[in-house]
A and B are shown apart, each in its own frame.
Chain A
Amino acid sequence: MKWLIFSLIFVLLGGMVFAFSTCRSASAGGRVEITLFCWPFATLIKVNRERIAIYEKEHPHVKIRLVSGDEEKYLTMVTGGVAPDIAVSGPSEMHYYARRNAILPLDDFIEKDKSFSTDDFFPVAIETMRYRGKIYGLPDNGSPVALIYNKEMFDRYNKAHPEDRIDYPNDSWTWDDFRHAAKALTKDLDGDGQPDVYGTIIDFYRNRFPIAVWSFGGEVISKDKRRCLMDSPQAIAAVRMLRDIIWVDKSAPSAFTQFAGVSEQSHTTLFREERVAMIMSTRYLYDGLLGKTQFEWDVGPLPKGPAGQVSLYIADGWIISSQSLHPDEVWKLAKFLVSPLSAEIGMRNGRGISCTKAIAKKFLCHPGVKPPHECVWIDMINVSRPKDFEFRFGMGGYFSKAMNQMYFIPRGQKTPEQVCKDLTAIFNKGLKILWEEEGGW
């Protein structure tokens, strides 16, 4: 009989532990419990822990539970009915959740709350958070793409070639200037006919090629997001220019590892080892550079094309779940997470650039900061566009299949015309699914 009683107690306890562990956050003992979800990056967790500690001290009636994980975990929590009240999200995911009413539009909160103004943020950051005219996220952290370059490689070249001096990247640079510099800085050290040091790397793996397309006057998709426009003459000319850097000038590696995350590590490593002189990248690359190089490097603006200078902006923001039991409390927290105080914590810890104008300028635009031309990031934000062409979801995989066409360029297996034609066809196939089966983006 004792066995039976013990067994029953054991089962009951197990059941209770299970039941409590799956319970969603709510009010407990007069305190409001809020679940905050963020990606599992050490820096991000550290930043948010610091912010939470301050917020909880200032708001003793609020208890914040930090949960970290990938998008899959977030989605599983949403599907399971225990969605985190507030979460960090990228624009593609945000649009997807907004389309399915999983998150709240923030316009009403913004309108009612006089202490909050979207004017404090970079316009492109707010634009990134917009879906079908409504704002669904508060922008926290982002970065445009700029040109990070090894100053000493420029200096060494200029010393060796006083007749053909090349300037550091600057605002007057066109794509031709960029190509000339990249070619000049490419070197075959062992005389085997193969460069050992490259002028640059053309990154086809994280959908950065639209920078060239836009600056050539082309578009990836139409404004109504129903048609891919990569088969336009301007887009083809831009892709041809990128192809020529690799295959005609031979100033960028022709074939490289495929995968985005690791590819970025490889770019950083190659830059750090002085095997590449210039890389077009976001400020997130700093993690692999600051204090890890033996040479002087700096940041410069992107080259101009026939349609001017354009950069690409990536950002993440805070979204509020429509399942949240305390939307007003969560809004207050969201507001705090993008406040100047929180933004400072973010910037101090080296994550991208705060989307708050004043804080970004405070950290980047003053003498004594290293690298010296940090303020270029602000200039680049002002000429940036969001990734308005990116539809990770709802196109049945056709988006990534379309983008993968670009890989044929560094492999030299298709002409720019063929790549643009195939990319357009595949993209349009996906857009057809998106509009006809999913009801739009």
Chain B
Amino acid sequence: MAKKKESVPTTWRKHAALAGYLFILPNVLGFLAFTSLPVLASLLLSFSKWDLLSPPRWVWFKNYIALFHDTDFWRVPNGYFYNTVFMMMAIPVSIMLSLFLAVILNQKLPGMILYRTLFFLPSITAGIGTMILWMWLLNPQFGLINLILGNIYNAFAWLASGVGWHWAAWESIRPLWLSDENWAKPALILMGLWGSMGGMNMILYLAALQGVPQELYESAKIDGANAWQRFWKITWPMVSPTTFFIFVMAIIGGFQGGFMAAQVMTGGGPNGATTTISFYIYENAYLWFRMGYASSIAWFLFGIVLILTLFNWKFSQKLVFYG
């Protein structure tokens, strides 16, 4: 009798497990068909030459060798690798701004929910729309940014002329933003900071800040710690796991980023100044139909992201405080 009692749930458990596997089977099949197999195929394609319409030709490491000799990819400045890394230099600034915003928006003041919503708005606004808006803002001749900068500059120039200094005309020195290869990347960074500082990172920091025990602040206050000491000794370590997560994700995202801005705003120009690795992959794959070469760049990118993530994991973790 006791034996029978035991066998029923075992059979049921087996059936339940089988049913479970069957339920996830469509998803697994979908994952295999639409993710794993294409990823594997792209690895094989990276060793071949394929224009999509003719059969692929096996070329061994030719694509990788070509990538290492691709002057457009490696040149400094304005090579595609350089562009990607340059634009990632904004990551620490973006993280700091997000934390700063989160600290401010973590105050218990009336109307704070409204401010939180306002700062989060750029993240939920359609990317194309905001980019077109930024294109107008950054327009060198008719844009609002240059209009404001020009007025400020002219005011100072007028004051300077009063003491005998003659400054160059604004028109001759104004930034051409997206039209100038030296200004295009800073312009995109500016836009990126606007979008990212109040986005998901701010929300993550807000959540982290709300998890910091208030007793720590109270006891620090009793011990005479000032606001900066409380931030540096309590807040910063306590939110370090979040900072670590944001940093790792930003590095991964940064290497894969820049596609939409290049596609919508600059076409990768001027003179390749805003072509990032991801946009170069797209150009090779879908504009020039060099699928093999595009795949090799994608796998090179994967290698870099993997190495950097492992590096981060191994060394940055030492800076993280898990309380």
Contacts and interface: CB of A to CB of B under 8 A. Distances in A.
Given A79-B52, A79-B53, A411-B180, A4 B18 contact: yes
A319 to B, nearest CB: 13
Contact of B180 (A97, A255, A394, A397): A255
A214 to B, nearest CB: 25
A6 to B, nearest CB: 8
Contacts of B218: none
B52 A258 contact: no
A405 to B, nearest CB: 8
Interface in A194-232: 194
Given A1-B15, A78-B53, A193 B171 contact: yes
A397 B54 contact: no
Contacts of B288: 392-397
A78 B270 contact: no
Contacts of B132: 262
Interface stretch (B89-97, B133-141, B225-233, B252-260): B133-141
A411 B72 CA distance: 21
A193 B190 CA distance: 29
A255 B141 contact: yes
B53 A100 contact: yes
Interface in B3-41: 15-16, 18-19, 22-23, 25-26
Interface string B203-218: 0000000000000000
Contact of B22 (A7, A72, A401, A407): A7
Given A262-B265, A411-B179, A253 B53 contact: no
Given A78-B53, A262-B264, A72 B286 contact: yes
Given A72-B286, A78-B52, A397-B287, A259 B267 contact: yes
Interface stretch (A8-16, A32-40, A367-375): A8-16
Contact of A97 (B16, B22, B53): B53
Nearest to B265: A259
A174 interface: no
Contact of A102 (B26, B53, B135, B140): B53
Nearest to B51: A100
A72 B282 CA distance: 11
B15 A392 contact: no
A contact residues, range: 35 or more
B309 interface: no
Interface string B260-276: 00001111011110000
B19 A3 contact: yes
B269 A257 contact: no
A404 interface: yes
Contact of A10 (B18, B23, B72, B271): B23
Nearest to B54: A100
A14 B26 CA distance: 7
Contacts of A255: 140-141, 176, 179-180
Contacts of A392: 287-288
Interface string A6-34: 11101100100000000000000000000
13 contacts: A4-B15, A7-B18, A75-B289, A79-B52, A255-B140, A255-B176, A256-B139, A258-B178, A258-B269, A260-B267, A393-B51, A396-B288, A396-B290
Closest 4 pairs between A and B when the two form their complex, measured CB to CB: A7-B22, A100-B53, A255-B179, A3-B19
Interface of A: 1, 3-4, 6-8, 10-11, 14, 71-72, 75, 78-79, 96-97, 100, 102, 193-194, 253, 255-260, 262, 266, 275, 392-397, 400-401, 404, 407-408, 410-411
Interface of B: 15-16, 18-19, 22-23, 25-26, 51-54, 72, 132, 135, 139-142, 169, 171, 176, 178-180, 264-267, 269-272, 283-284, 286-290
Given A259-B266, A400-B287, 15 more contacts: A6-B19, A10-B22, A71-B286, A72-B286, A78-B53, A79-B52, A79-B53, A258-B266, A258-B269, A259-B269, A393-B51, A394-B288, A396-B290, A404-B270, A404-B272
